[in-house]
Amino acid sequence: MLSQLIYVSVRANECSDSEIQKILESSIRNNAKIDITGVLLYSDKKFLQCLEGDYDEIMALYDKIKLDKRHKNVVLITVGMIKERFFPSWQMGSKKINSDYEFSTKMSLSEKKDFNAILKGEKPTESKAIDLIKKFF
Ligand SMILES: Cc1cc2nc3c(=O)[nH]c(=O)nc-3n(C[C@H](O)[C@H](O)[C@H](O)COP(=O)(O)O)c2cc1C
């Protein structure tokens, strides 16, 4: 069952940029083996990740990721079935966003409000998390 999971978490102080490169390297290596694709947005303070693939594989990976000490306060934003992948070409695409979230994407004021809500682990009111994430790629 093709599914998608999005979560937000707080980047640990000890998690340097070179640790993030290690995360991306192991993601690309491991996710290819289990046919998981997705993207990781990160700032100095937060992670926002979208995982796509088989439901059981995603849940097993999410359980593993939650235990990683390089982040904390992992909050599930959404999980559900999808008809097709939003990010089919990335084992794990990534993008750094500014910590003040003054990102230069084409977001309306209400979309920015929703994006900030998601980063706080809250449900967006108008937009879907995936549509906001897509704006960065
Ligand atoms: C924010 C974050 C996102 C991660 N995403 C993935 C991922 O998509 N795939 C993955 O295999 N590991 C991911 N990891 C790393 C795992 O927690 C774990 O360290 C890694 O899978 C171990 O891989 P290895 O056994 O090949 O060293 C992530 C870690 C963090 C902190």
Closest listed residue to residue 50, CA positions, set 70, 29, 27, 69: 27
Task: Give distance in angstroms: CA of 108 to centre of ligand 1.
Answer: 32
State the Cα–Cα distance between residues 93 and 37, nearest whole angstrom: 8
Q: Which helix (H) or strand (E) holds 85?
A: none
DSSP 57: H
Q: Is residue 135 part of a domain?
A: no
Instruction: Tell me whether residue 72 is in a domain.
Output: yes
Residue 108 within a domain: no
User: 3-class SS at 104?
Assistant: coil
| CATH code for position 49 | 3.30.70.100
Q: How confident is the model at residue 61 (pLDDT cuts 50, 70, 90)?
A: very high
* 50 Cβ below 6 A of ligand 1: no
Sequence-ordered list of residues with C-beta below 8 angstroms from that of 1, at least 6 positions apart, any chain = 54, 55, 81
* pLDDT computed for residue 106 by the predictor: 75
Residues in the chain: 137
Residue nearest to atom 25 of ligand 1 (CA): 26
Tens of pLDDT, residue by residue over 12-55, are 999 999 999 999 999 999 999 999 999 999 999 999 999 999 99
- Asked if residue 71 has its Cβ within 6 Å of ligand 1, the reply is yes
7: containing domain: 2-97
31 ligand 1 Cβ < 6 A? yes
Taking a C-beta distance cutoff of 8 angstroms, is the pair 104, 29 a contact? no
- What is the separation of C-alpha 136 from the centre of its chain, rounded to a whole number of angstroms? 11
Is residue 63 pLDDT above 80, yes or no? yes
Question: Over the Cα atoms of the chain, what is R_g?
Answer: 14
Residue 109 lies in a domain: no
Whose C-alpha lies nearest to ligand 1, atom 19?
A: 68
Q: Name the pTM for this structure.
A: 0.94
| Domains identified in the chain, total number | 1
Picking from 6, 120, 102, the residue whose alpha carbon sits closest to that of residue 52 is 6
Residue 118 included in any domain: no
Give the model confidence (pLDDT) of 105-123 as tens digits: 678 888 988 999 999 999 8
